[in-house]
Amino acid sequence: MSKSSSASSPRLLQWLGIALLIIVLDQFSKTLILGHFQLGDSRFVTSFFNVVRVHNTGAAFSFLAGASGWQRWFFVGLGVVATIFITWMLRRHGQQTLFASALSLILGGAIGNVVDRLLHGYVVDFIQVHWGGWYFPSFNIADSAITVGAILLIWDELRRVRKG
């Protein structure tokens, strides 16, 4: 093993550990929802937040949810490709903390939603944010991790551009 790959292994394990934590939290929360809510059930929490049970057969904002079923396997395949690519990126750039943190969050979220598609054929969403009659599409912990990861990637790139 070369010096650079042996030095990056502990970092890679750290980043994969963060992704694993996201997967576990995501799947645990979805198991609770599936066990305690029927499809369509909603519980008021605050004036702007409900817990609901929604099944999403599509992607973000239910994109392609009305397709004939092929989208399930398309998104599973996309998740597998993303997992391989992100793991490769983490191996190569694990020393870049902000970048690797972002990738770890995206990886954990992507795998969390792929697990749902494989187990159920849909993604379990349960977080509903609303204000004054306007409802944001329901989402889950995996979606939140992907969103935060994407924001961190943008922030990391902006920092990199400003330095250069």
Residues designated as active site: 125, 143
Distance CA 152, CA 147 (A): 9
Q: Are 150 and 132 in contact (CB under 8 A)?
A: no
DSSP 52-67: EEEEESSSGGGTTTTS
The residue type found at 99 is F
